[in-house]
Amino acid sequence: MLSSRVRLIPRTVRLVHSLIYNSCHSSMDLKALLCSLNDFASLSLAESWDNVGLLVEPSPPHTVNTLFLTNDLTEEVMEEALQKKADLILSYHPPIFRPLKHITWKTWKERLVIRALENRVGIYSPHTAYDAAPQGVNSWLAKGLGVCTSRPIHPSRAPNYPTTGTHRVEFSVNGTEDLDKVISAVKRIADVSVTSFSTRTDDEEQTRISLNCSQEALIEVVAFLSQSRQFYQKTEILSLEKPLLLHTGMGRLCTLDESVSLATMIDRIKRHLKLSHVRLALGVGRTLESPVKVVALCAGSGSTVLQGAEADLYLTGEMSHHDVLDAASQGINVILCEHSNTERGFLSDLRDMLGAHLENKINIILSETDRDPLHVV
């Protein structure tokens, strides 16, 4: 009897803890939650080719009590999410990437959509928006290297131009009569904003015209100015660039405070990713004792992002055979950990960050069945 009571106590404690934990959370309307998720990491940071955001939406209104995090949404993971009463699944990789031409029971991705809708579960994917974010996947991957400073390999730019238009056209005009004609003419062109200011060149009073315009309007502006040799020879055309975003972008170039041997770096990466094995390509002339000072990394598939980066080591999930050969020929070591192994561990940090960001208004849980499909045997 006594031993039976002893076994029951931990279960009772767990049940009470679960009730207390769940009672601390309320709920959020789906639309409000989506706004908060976008505030955490704007979807505008995602690559143009990506399919991010809300992919499956139950009929509104939809209340979210439980947010379920996974790296990949497979049928096994979907079953787990349903058993755990998820209202919204945040799948880092978008389960819908290529367009679906029909929704039937024939393919596993179609079945995911059907099961989600039947059970009123939304599906949201941030993917490359989380790759680029300052507190995102690549920054998490860099934590395993040791003390270092890092910067994006390909910095992100602000989603919008700070001023109107993509180009600025500047030229000078002599005389009030010409000035009125010119301003009147350019204002008739769509997507053009005009400012003017007085200048003095060679003791001659002039008016400097500054136009901000779109790429399409630029063609019309140049066509107009080319009609007058006086204007056109004094024309400057500037391309306006969106400002870079601090600590935001694809990949990371990490410089260690202190160099370590390649063997030591391999051990650090294994420990961080909780892996027993990684794949290694030694750079030409390199050994396991060669020093590593600069690491270029990209979670997932890094071939495009890492190409041309100057580093002692490339760290990513997967690269093509020929890209590995190219890197090794330049004396760059390459470590491959399999695609999702370089991403999945981030979800634990994400759970904590989202909990704080959402002020613990909803229950956030991690998938226990999500795993990389490849295993070393």
3-state DSSP of 267-297: HHHHHHHCCCCCEEECCCCCCCCCEEEEEEE
Under a CB-based contact definition with an 8 Å cutoff, are residues 150 and 253 in contact? yes
Token couple for 139: 């920054």
Residue 363: strand pairing partners: 66
DSSP label of 100:
P
Is 339 part of any known ligand binding site? Answer: yes
Is 257 part of any known ligand binding site? Answer: no
Cis, peptide link before residue 61, omega less than 30° from 0: yes
Token couple for 328: 């090794």
Is 154 part of any known ligand binding site? Answer: no
Is 131 part of any known ligand binding site? Answer: yes
What radius of gyration, in Å, describes the C-alpha atoms of the chain? 28
| Helices (runs of H) and strands (runs of E) counted in the chain | 13, 19
Under a CB-based contact definition with an 8 Å cutoff, are residues 225 and 171 in contact? yes
Rounded Cα distance, 84 and 305, in Å: 37
Q: 10 Å Cβ neighbour count for 375?
A: 8
Summarize the annotated binding site for a divalent metal cation as residue ranges: 93, 131, 339, 343
Summarize the annotated binding site as residue ranges: 93, 131, 339, 343
